[in-house]
A and B are shown apart, each in its own frame.
Chain A
Amino acid sequence: MPTEPAKSVGIDLGTTFSAIAYVDGVGTPRAIPTSDGAYVTPSAVYIKPDRSIVVGEAALEALRERPDRVAVNFKRDMGEKFYSEPVGGREFSPEALSALVLKKLAQDAVEALGDIGGAVITVPAYFGDARRKATQDAGRIAGLNVIDIINEPTAAALANAFHTFLAQGGEQSDLSIARIAARAPSTTLVYDLGGGTFDVTVIRIDHNDFEVIATGGEVRLGGIDFDKRVVDYFCDEFRRRFGIDPRDTPESMERIRNTCELAKISLSENPQTVLICEHLGRKMQVPITRGRFEQLTADLIARTQISTEMLLEDAMLTWDRIDNILLVGGSSRMPRVARMLAEISGKEPEMAIAPDQIVAHGAALHAAICDFDRTETPQATGKEKRLDFDSAATDAEADKEQQKMQAIMAPTKATAAHAIKLSDVNSHGLGVIVRSAIDRKTVNSVIIPKNTPLPTSRVKLFGTEAKNQRQVRLRITEGDTRDPRGCTQIGECMIRHLPKGLPKGAPVEVSFRYDSSGRIHVKAVELTSRISADVQIERESGFKKIDLDRMTDAVSELDVK
């Protein structure tokens, strides 16, 4: 065998913690430890006064001393221009901050594996296109070769299916991964309560096919919200006793927050614990029981319950059609989560093996499949490349038949090797802003509803608004409400130079095509004159290419510790 190619890695870029994993020589996904031996890295970035950069545990520690120089939870701002607060007096984009975390993870991976190949990064299924693109950009800025962006729940389901496959006596080295999921078709609900986001997804697994049926959740609900409740509880007690509110002093807050988070984690194992914190020289002990904690956070659990029930209602599913419930994310360790799900579903939820690493495991498996795809079909890929890039240089006459054969054969081989199909749905509706014929209000008319399997195309007919209208302007939106305020405009398509004298209500056909690479093609045709306009919307990058390159260079020169 020739020298082993560089291994590709899978990265779970989380709100509070990130993890990186690879598939080892015998085919098991493994998380890669950081330099201090932990398997997860806090998604925190400390920009030191000397402008060197520290990522991870040490950055979290620095949060106590220099809260103004440490950025955390920036995943929540992904897709926006800047991170919520300036760091060290400067504004940073969430992409740049994420890139620094990715760079640290990649460094740890290089340390452990030698060179790394491509990287698969996961995002919440709930992320819209802008934020997926931003994540991809973060990978590029970090100097990674991003081979794919996949959904966290899909990754978790994939890894879980693989672990089940092993538990049932499957061969670890069997990288013809087709067999991983070769069991009876099943429908899994993945409940992923992470540090900053909550995702709930229904995935149908049928042999090699991982199909996302529906996805929902909350972008701004996670473990940190549970921490906040404990923090408030402590601070209220402190104020009652000493008449001072620690929340007025940011410097003390980091330590209190940290203590409260540890207490929360401890309450998942123990029925009670004690919060011991100090503020302005006054030390206070506040005992807290699991019951009290669950009371303080009952509404947060209720929110995840509402989202879960809404998802089933939307997908027109009932609990009897769900075979498994898979718990993912560190926060789903809270016993109340499994209890709530058991109560509403009548089923026993299954805790993922290493719930905070499983997403990275799945991403690594997906990356391995991509690698496997490349290495197992060298002939086919070689020929494909030649067809694509070198066809002018080949001995055309002699090779023509051969080429034709290869062109026909290659896709079949590729499909066979691409053992697992990950089908997706769009997480947000796509539509256009129109004036409703029914009530004359400006409304968003959804053309591709959310949770439609991709690729897809849909057509809808509209009419012009006025007599003798000469142009039609279509504002293309992402969002699911009829109310345009619930949507974001993602593009525009304009039909110009319509002939004079068109009646009011002249038919305008609008077609949307959403391909599997995430590109949206919009075409509008005025049907009587056949005059049309079209536009292609790519997952828009927040950066120009040149800025991206500049940032990539800047980050590559940075020393990240």
Chain B
Amino acid sequence: MSNKEQNQTPDAPIDAYSEYLELAEGHRPPHLYQLLEIELFCPHPERIEQAVRRQFRKIKPFEENPDRIIRELIQDVMTHIATAKTILGSAEQKQEYDDRLAKALKIDRDEILRSRTAARPPEHSLTIIAGPTQVGNTLKLLPDKMVSLGADPHTVVCLPSLRMAPKQATIEQEHGRWMLRCAGENLMTLVNDHRCFERRLQDDDVIDLVGYRIRFARIDAREPSRSAIPPPLSLVIRSGPSVADPLMNLLSPASVLIGQCDTSLWQLGGKGVSTHHAKVQADGAFWQLRDLHSEGGTHLNGERIESSILAHRDEIKLGPYEIQVRLRK
């Protein structure tokens, strides 16, 4: 049976830190910054708090391990994390701990903190470039703040939509890298059109969260020159079956896939809509509508088309839907 990997030999000493907390190999027990997987002498209380909860969440599901010895080891790790919270959470205790740790590691604490501020890492932001609302909004990412995205009003980036889960995904920095995590396995999250559960974000990645497209970019990155981008586009359903989001707004360089498939950014159900039906994307200074060999075809102002440039007040017919094009100046 396939349970073999679960029956570990009890004789081998178990390192709960690497086994359940997935810490890198090294000195055991780890020092508190290793334990929390944050930078040495991290000066940001918020980041420490967040790391405490992150590590606690990692280890906690294993607390009911059937093996008594492992269970006790896990209890010790949990207590260790709580110790990190008490020590690093109090300014005096942290100072004292840092001094001792610096001495033990034979390093200069101030030197490390100075060199860290000198080499400032690039800053990133999230911009909503397509979706029913909020398009054009930008959020600067702060290294010690986790960003939650979802339909709940308490998320940092609130994305109202009937298709959206209350909490759809999170973005947070770990070891200087921005990590995107889907909040649940059945939730649809795409990065650069590929479905993913957990991913390290790179400059100019495009994240699709059911009906919203979000661009992750460096703040200092140059915007493409103004003349080449088309004006913001709105697609509005004028008639057709009810859908979760009857409106789709786009900013260049976004593109939107329209179809039945749940990976489509704009999911339209109903008879006559193909899985991947049509696509709207920027083409120079214009927006282009392209039919993706759909069964029912895509009609623009009454004419079946394969591909066409969109103009203000154009009428698109796609299956049972009548969609109006609006271009903002």
Contact = CB atoms under 8 A, between A and B. Distances in A.
B196 A449 contact: no
A299 B86 contact: yes
Interface string B36-68: 000000000000000011001100011111101
A299 B80 CA distance: 8
Interface in B114-154: 152, 154
Interface string A284-306: 00000000000000111011011
A481 B64 CA distance: 12
Contacts of B63: 218-220
A302 B184 contact: no
A446 B185 contact: yes
A480 B61 contact: yes
A316 B184 contact: no
Interface of A: 80, 84, 128, 218-220, 298-300, 302-303, 305-307, 309-310, 313, 316, 318, 436, 438-439, 442-443, 445-446, 449, 460, 479-488
B107 interface: no
Contacts of A303: 78-79, 82
A385 B81 CA distance: 56
B186 interface: yes
A305 B84 CA distance: 13
Nearest to B62: A486
A310 B83 contact: no
B52 A306 contact: yes
B234 to A, nearest CB: 31
7 nearest CB pairs, A to B = A486-B61, A299-B82, A302-B82, A481-B61, A303-B82, A298-B86, A299-B83
B192 to A, nearest CB: 14
Contacts of B97: none
A303 B86 CA distance: 10
A479 B197 contact: no
B167 interface: yes
Given A302-B85, A485-B62, A487-B61, 11 more contacts: A84-B68, A128-B64, A299-B86, A300-B79, A302-B83, A302-B89, A306-B52, A309-B53, A316-B152, A438-B197, A442-B2
B61 A483 contact: yes
B195 interface: yes
B307 interface: no
Interface in B77-122: 78-79, 81-83, 85-86, 89
B288 interface: no
14 contacts: A218-B63, A219-B64, A220-B71, A299-B85, A302-B82, A302-B85, A302-B86, A310-B53, A316-B166, A438-B196, A443-B185, A480-B61, A481-B62, A487-B61
Contacts of A446: 184-185
A501 to B, nearest CB: 24
Contacts of B154: 316, 318
Contacts of B83: 299, 302
Interface string B1-28: 0100010000000000000000000000
Contacts of A488: 64, 66
Contacts of A128: 64
Contacts of A482: 185
Contacts of B66: 80, 488
A449 B85 contact: no
B75 interface: yes
Given A442-B2, A485-B6, A306 B61 contact: no
Contact of A220 (B62, B75, B85): B75
A299 B75 CA distance: 12
A117 B52 CA distance: 48
A219 B62 CA distance: 12
B82 A306 contact: yes
Contact of B82 (A300, A436, A442, A443): A300
Contact of A306 (B53, B184, B196, B197): B53
Contacts of B81: 306
Contacts of B185: 443, 445-446, 482
B160 to A, nearest CB: 15
Contacts of A299: 79, 82-83, 85-86
Nearest to B197: A438
Contacts of B6: 484-485
A310 B56 contact: yes
Contacts of B75: 220
Contacts of A438: 195-197
A305 to B, nearest CB: 8
B228 to A, nearest CB: 36
A316 B154 CA distance: 7
Nearest to A431: B185
Nearest to A437: B195
Nearest to B53: A310
Interface in B233-278: none
Nearest to B22: A483
A449 B79 contact: no
Query: Which of B6, B89, B155, B186 lies at the interface centre, i.e. has the most chain A CB atoms within 10 A of its CB?
Result: B186
B175 to A, nearest CB: 20
Nearest to B80: A299
Contacts of B68: 84
A446 B52 CA distance: 24
Query: Which of A80, A218, A303, A307 lies at the interface centre, i.e. has the most chain B CB atoms within 10 A of its CB?
Result: A303
Contact of A479 (B61, B78, B79, B152): B61
Contact of A310 (B57, B65, B79, B166): B57
Contacts of A449: 184
A438 B195 CA distance: 8
A82 B161 CA distance: 51
A473 to B, nearest CB: 9
Contacts of A318: 154
A271 B62 CA distance: 38
A534 to B, nearest CB: 21
B195 A306 contact: no
Interface string B163-190: 0001100000000000000001110000
